[in-house]
Amino acid sequence: MTGASSQNVGPIILLGPPGAGKGTQAKRVSEYYRIPQISTGDILREQGQRGTELGIKAKDIMARGEFVPDELMYGMVADRLRQVDCERGFILDGFPRTPAQAGWLDAFLEHEFFDNVPRSKCLPVVIRIDVDYNLLLRRIAGRRSCPVCARIYNVYLQPPRVADTCDHDGSKLIARDDDREEVIRDRLQRYEVQTRPVAQYYERKARLSAVNGEMPVERVTEEIIRLVENSRREAVGS
């Protein structure tokens, strides 16, 4: 798949539950368009390493086991999106997580970030990656890794030749604690409660598209790019 490194892409938001392949797709689309993939975790780490006022405040809050408040998060996201590598576009991973954050992002992009660009061109392309609940469980609960070479297997979908044994070095495969089924069910439930309102926010504005995340990885990437291209063509023609 040939990349498009000079095209103005604009903002892209990928939504999807744990195990849907959102991180993989964000990375592939980022490489295709040569635009940054931006996660809130990366922003928090960067601000902390730079020792900014916002980063220090966020670090203190997280050290107390509390969530970083929206107003503080907005300042850090705004700072990141104003950087030069975001001029042609970017992919947001893990933000927005609430309708309030989605509303802030719309206002920021429209009134601050893309002040001299037609409104239709600055609003995010929002794509949800849909995967059946039972397949999500199999994707995550079936994961096993080699403690020596770090290769990843799936006992349901991509098993090793010998059960619980790495094909490469014969080490016994291990499962992470957070890949246990009861933990996964809780993560998926929390995702559904937290993220459904965000999808509904964009759906009410007729800006939510969906892609079947059960297709092969390459096909999912192609479909996401097709949706992005269609959205931008419509924006140019509006």
| Enzyme catalytic residues | 22, 97, 143, 176, 187
Cβ atoms of 36 and 85 within 8 Å: the answer is yes
How far apart are alpha carbons 104 and 49 in whole angstroms? 26
How far apart are alpha carbons 218 and 205 in whole angstroms? 29
Residue type, 91: I
Half-sphere exposure of 151 (CA within 13 A, CB side): 16
